[in-house]
Structure 1
Amino acid sequence: MTLSRPPALSALKEWDAQCQLLTLGRVSLLLRKGGILETHDGFEVEHRRFLLYPTFLHQNPQELQPQYQPLLRPDPAPGQIVLPALAEVVAVHKVESLEAALRLEPLQALTAGAIERRFHYRNRPWIHALLLRVRPLVTPLTLEETPDLLGCVSWVPLGDAAAQAGVAAVGEAGLHDRQDELERLLTA
Structure 2
Amino acid sequence: MYPPALKEWDTQCQALTSGRAALIVRKGGIMETHDGFEVEHSRFLLYPTFLHQNGAELRPEFQSLLRPDPLPGTLTLPALAEVVAVWKIEDLERALRLEPYQALTAAAIERRYAYRNRPWLHAMLLRVSPLAPPLRLTETPEMLGCLSWVPLEGVTLPELAPPSRPEAEVQALHAELSALLR
**TM-score bucket (shorter structure):** over 0.9
Which residue pairs with 1:144 in the alignment?
138
Instruction: Provide runs of 4+ in structure 1 moved above 3 Å.
Output: none
Q: CA RMSD in A?
A: 0.9
Task: Give, in whole Å, the separation in 1 of the partners of 2:73 and 2:57.
Answer: 26
Partner AA of 1:127 in structure 2: L
Task: Give, in whole Å, the separation in 2 of the partners of 1:106 and 1:160.
Answer: 38
1:130 to 2:124 alignment: yes
The equivalent position to 1:168 in structure 2, one of 152, 163, 167, is: 163
**TM-score normalised per structure 2:** 0.97
The equivalent position to 1:91 in structure 2, one of 79, 85, 88, is: 85
1:117 to 2:111 alignment: yes
Which residue pairs with 2:46 in the alignment?
52
| Contact 1:43-1:93 at 8 Å conserved across structures | no
Which residue pairs with 1:18 in the alignment?
12
Unmatched tracts of structure 2, length 5 or more = none
Task: Give, in whole Å, the separation in 2 of the partners of 1:15 and 1:22.
Answer: 11
Q: Counterpart of 1:151 in 2: which secondary structure?
A: coil
In the TM superposition, what is the alpha-carbon distance from 1:42 to its structure 2 partner? 2.9
Which residue pairs with 1:3 in the alignment?
none
Q: Counterpart of 1:162 in 2: which secondary structure?
A: coil
**TM-score normalised per structure 1:** 0.94
Counterparts of 1:64-83 in structure 2, within 5 Å, are 64-83=58-77
Task: Give, in whole Å, the separation in 2 of the partners of 1:48 and 1:25.
Answer: 19
Unmatched tracts of structure 1, length 5 or more = 1-5
Which residue pairs with 1:182 in the alignment?
177
Q: Deviations over 1:84-115 (max 9, x none)?
A: 00000011110000000000100001000000
- Decide which moves more: 49-58 or 31-40: 31-40
Equivalent residues, number: 181
Q: Deviations over 1:139-180 (max 9, x none)?
A: 101000110111100000011111122211111100011111
Task: Give, in whole Å, the separation in 1 of the partners of 2:85 and 2:37.
Answer: 10
The equivalent position to 1:37 in structure 2, one of 21, 28, 31, is: 31
Partner AA of 1:119 in structure 2: Y
In the TM superposition, what is the alpha-carbon distance from 1:67 to its structure 2 partner? 0.9
Q: Deviations over 1:10-29 (max 9, x none)?
A: 00000000000000111100
Q: Counterpart of 1:184 in 2: which secondary structure?
A: helix
